Amino acid sequence: MLLNIVITLVLLMITTLVLSRIFSLPKNIWVLFLTQPLVMAASPVIVFIGGILSAEMANDPSLATLPVTVMILGVATAAIPAALLAKKLGRKLATYSGFSLGLIGCFIAVIATQQANFKLFTLASLFFGMSTAFIQQLRFAAIESAKDENEIPTVLSILMLSGIFSAFLGPEIAVVAKDWIKSPYGYTGSFVFIGALNLVAMVILLGFKNPDIQQQQQKGEVRPLTQIVKQPIFLISILTAAIGFALMSYLMTATPLSMHHVHGHSLMDTKWVIQSHIAAMFIPSFFTGWLVKKIGLKNLLLLGTLIYSFVVIIAFSGEQVVHYWWALLLLGIGWNFLFLTGTTLLPQSYNPSERHKVQAINDFIIFGFQATASLLAGWMLFKAGWHGVVVSSIPFIVILYGVTWFYYRDPKKKKTKG
């Protein structure tokens, strides 16, 4: 299995070299592409083994999902500080601060697994979540590194594509390094490995240069946030990304519980469905940049909303593995289209001098929605069943259709100057 990790890392480097030859983009993009998967690998580790490990360490097994929940809350609560720190220190130093939080999380997790301390492990998950809030800011660093706004969809597609490497790295590291260092329930070595990847990422980040826009942050009118958030383009952007992310998290979180615990499907089948979903979230990034140029953001938003509609139809039609597989596969593709659309539209709502506070409120709303959706998923599943989860998602898809219609009828794409 160690070979799988080595192969993934080699493929990451090869992919970086190949794409850098194909696309003439600034060096920053490729530094971020190479760095992001190394630090993002911690989240899949917590999602994959958090419940398993916590069930052994916690006095009450019902608290086993608490570390995952705390990690998501950590993302939401650190979203605004991450953006404001980027404004104060610049993208590079702020990113190093976020990576440092990840290292602290690894250190605490190592102690927690050595002592079988559930409270410490939950604290470590909080640090991983806060670190993830800074990692999410890398997409804005990539946007600011683009030469012009026409490059933004391509830049975002490329950066999102790198996520597939972290999705495979995390679970492999969790399994491979589980018993490298002796501990009551294992996994100490897994967090040491994650910490080492974090250090490698910090070395690679030395090649990142603060975008020129950093020098322009005091230029341009600075409007009140209340005025900015009333703009149609901001509302379209935030609703597209937030609802798209929340529904994805809602259905994805409920799926393993529904498949394995409620309907008795095997762990192998459940793992295959989730892995297919994660792959579907990132693989479309191979062509979404091209797709935006061909059909435009309006049609990509409509396409993503239509795909979510098919997710509901398929998920409601049965509880066999094939139903879950197709629903989660389409859910990943739809999320990719919606998140890219929302993120691409956001810069149209602010001046350079306003970007940090707008990005802060954007991420706070998006990951706040995600945290809420994740918390509600299990409750809704056990109260109303899988069909109840699916039906309860329909009103939000209707809202997405409303947002799409609003975007189609509103020709004013650019920000208002007040």
pLDDT of residue 167: 79
Q: How far apart are CA 38 and CA 196, in angstroms?
A: 9
Q: How far apart are CA 255 and CA 409, in angstroms?
A: 36
Give the 3-state secondary structure of residue 80: helix
pLDDT of residue 414: 46
How far are the Cα atoms of 62, 142, 343 from residue 165, in angstroms, in the given order?
A: 32, 18, 21
Helix or strand run (H / E) with residue 254:
helix 232-256
Q: How far apart are CA 102 and CA 197, in angstroms?
A: 10
Q: How far apart are CA 178 and CA 192, in angstroms?
A: 10
**CATH architecture, domain defined by 225-418:** Up-down Bundle (1.20)
pLDDT of residue 229: 86
* Sign of the torsion angle spanned by Cα atoms 98, 99, 100, 101: positive
Closest CA to 38 of 113, 102, 91: 102
Q: How far apart are CA 34 and CA 36, in angstroms?
A: 6
Block residue for tokens 């020098």: 215
Q: Kindly report the pTM of this predicted structure.
A: 0.81
Closest CA to 220 of 92, 91, 355: 355
Tokens of 195: 């910490």
How far are the Cα atoms of 133, 350, 351 from residue 157, in angstroms, in the given order?
A: 19, 21, 23
pLDDT digit string (tens) for the chain, length 418 residues: 789 899 999 999 999 999 999 998 999 999 999 999 999 989 888 877 776 788 788 887 667 668 877 888 899 899 999 988 998 999 999 999 999 999 999 999 999 999 999 999 999 999 999 999 999 999 889 989 988 888 888 898 899 888 889 878 887 888 889 899 999 988 999 999 999 999 999 999 999 999 876 455 555 677 888 888 889 999 999 999 999 999 998 898 788 878 877 888 886 787 788 878 888 888 888 888 888 889 989 999 999 999 999 999 999 999 899 999 999 999 999 999 999 999 889 988 888 888 888 888 888 899 888 888 877 887 788 788 899 999 999 999 999 999 999 998 865 544 444 4
Q: Which CATH superfamily is domain 1-216 in?
A: MFS general substrate transporter like domains (1.20.1250.20)
Neighbouring CB atoms inside 10 A of 26's CB total: 17
328, 329, 331, 332 alpha-carbon torsion, rounded to 10°: 120
Q: Where in the chain is the domain with CATH 1.20.1250.20?
A: 1-216, 225-418
